[in-house]
Amino acid sequence: MLLLTARCSCCDEVRLELDPDEPSNCMVRFVPGAAARPIALGRHRLQLLLGGQHVHGSPYTFDLAPGAPHPPQCFASGAGVHVAARLQRTSATVTACDALGHRCPVGGAELAVALAPCAHGHYGVVHAVVDRGDGTYLISYSADISGKYSLAVTIHGQHIDGSPFRLVVASAEADGSSPPRRLSRGSASPRGRLQPSSPSAQHSPMPHAPGAVAGSPRLMPVGCSPWGSR
């Protein structure tokens, strides 16, 4: 019996599996290697060998590009992820990545943000969720009351890595700076979301009570517990 094998320049291992719907077909599965050599993007060559000889058309050339955003691999960065000053507009950046950790080069993800209180009843407000069009998103928010909050960031209704984040809002007077002015809320709300069809921030008037965001994705209230457990 002749053995069918495969080799590819994109990863350390290639598996051949029979198609359960069409046994005469064979599926090629690329397996990531160790952390030192993950599946690489770019142009690659796939060799299919039957009994040590190339099958018709082998080697094949193909381009490997990033996949769709995978929320557990997406992440938030910037000081605004964990700390903020009372009554001051604060921002953070969300970066979308695919299931293998490759950065997504384009925008369009359904990203939603919510700022919920912990051990008090004062919700923060989300001012903007901006799609930069390059796989990163700028979020901005503020809170009138000092204290602990939960900052939830979801993509397609699923939390990104580390979300909901533990956020501490401190008084600006505590660090010796001048007292801040009260921000005008305008159309800001406790929750902000970005639809994939628009690269600009979108807001919907929402009450200051917890509840699901109208439309998709649904973002349920974030529960808080004493810090020491999540």
Percent of the chain at pLDDT exceeding 90: 47
Count of alpha carbons within 13 angstroms of residue 5, beta-carbon side? 8
Least confident range from 150-164, 169-183, 184-198: namely 184-198
pLDDT digits (tens, 9 = 90+) for 122-141: 999 999 999 999 999 999 99
For residues 7-29, one letter each, b for 16 or more C-beta atoms within 10 angstroms of the residue's C-beta and e for the rest, the string is ebebbeebeeeeeeeeeeeeeee
Return the closest-CA partner of residue 86 out of 168, 23, 26, 2: 168
Please check whether residue 94 is in contact with residue 75, taking contact to mean a CB–CB distance below 8 angstroms: yes
| Mean pLDDT, residues 4-12 taken together | 82
DSSP string computed for 53-85: EEPTTPSEEEEE---S--GGG-EEESGGGTEEE
In the predicted structure, residue 178 carries a pLDDT above the cut 60: no
In the predicted structure, residue 64 carries a pLDDT above the cut 80: yes
Most confident region among 28-42, 157-171, 191-205 by mean pLDDT: 157-171
Confidence of residue 214 (pLDDT cuts 50, 70, 90): very low
Please check whether residue 14 is in contact with residue 29, taking contact to mean a CB–CB distance below 8 angstroms: yes
| Mean pLDDT, residues 147-158 taken together | 96
In the predicted structure, residue 145 carries a pLDDT above the cut 80: yes
In terms of phi and psi (left: phi > 0; alpha: psi -120 to 50; beta: otherwise), the region of 217 is beta
Return the closest-CA partner of residue 153 out of 75, 78, 85: 75
In the predicted structure, residue 223 carries a pLDDT above the cut 50: no
| Mean pLDDT, residues 152-166 taken together | 97
Which is higher by pLDDT, 145 or 32?
145
CB atoms within 10 A of CB 77: 11
The domains located in the chain, with CATH, are: 4-64 (2.60.40), 71-194 (2.60.40.10)
Least confident range from 10-19, 30-39, 211-220: namely 211-220
* DSSP secondary structure letter of residue 175: G
Q: Calculate the average pLDDT of the chain.
A: 78
Residues 6+ apart with CB under 8 A from 219: 112, 114, 152, 154, 157, 191, 193, 212, 213
| Mean pLDDT, residues 202-228 taken together | 36
Confidence of residue 9 (pLDDT cuts 50, 70, 90): confident
Residue 191, pLDDT score: 64
- Residues in a beta bridge with 42: 64
Helix (H, G, I), strand (E, B) or coil at 113: strand
